């Protein structure tokens, strides 16, 4: 029984990314398709790896973090190490987001203050006779 394989265009279409994106991850050593002449042949493992990369990027993990998680994948060991690393990375990402939220709130307050001052200054100039 032969194993399901995918062309680069099939993967790109299914996962809604460009073929250039897939080639980029291949250049980074994260995907390793076999070759049939010039044609790239992707395995189910490559497909899962690409899905994990895209999911990791979507939640804000760096490419290096995605690569680390993928390298830790070990179904024989029940993936404990991978899962624990993922939990640690999630906790760290949450802290980063919390800090970004605080920074955004602070910037919003500063913008409110600047806007208020501008409106008062504009009103003061409107009250002056020309």
Per-residue model confidence (pLDDT) at position 15 = 96
User: Which long-range contacts (C-beta less than 8 Å, at least 24 apart) are formed by 44-47?
Assistant: 44/3, 44/4, 46/6, 46/11, 47/6, 47/11, 47/14
Q: For 32-55, what is the mean pLDDT? A: 92
Strands (E), the chain: 34-36, 39-41
CATH classification number, 1-71, choose in 1.10.1660.10, 1.10.760.10, 1.10.540.10, 3.40.47.10:
1.10.1660.10
| Close Cβ partners of 93 (under 8 Å, ≥ 6 residues apart) | 59, 60, 61
pTM: 0.71
Q: For 53-73, what is the mean pLDDT? A: 88
């Amino acid at each position: 029984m032969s194993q399901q394989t995918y062309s680069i265009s099939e993967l790109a279409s299914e996962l809604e990314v460009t073929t250039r994106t897939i080639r980029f991850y291949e250049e980074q050593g994260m995907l390793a398709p076999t070759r049939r002449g010039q044609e790239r042949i992707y395995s189910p493992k490559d497909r899962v790896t690409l899905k994990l990369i895209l999911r990791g990027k979507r939640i804000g993990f760096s490419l290096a973090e995605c690569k680390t998680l993928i390298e830790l994948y070990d179904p024989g060991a029940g993936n404990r190490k991978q899962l624990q690393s993922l939990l640690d990375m999630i906790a760290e990402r949450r802290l980063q987001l919390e800090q970004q939220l605080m920074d955004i709130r602070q910037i919003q307050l500063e913008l409110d203050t600047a806007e208020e001052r501008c409106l008062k200054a504009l009103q003061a100039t409107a009250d002056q006779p020309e």
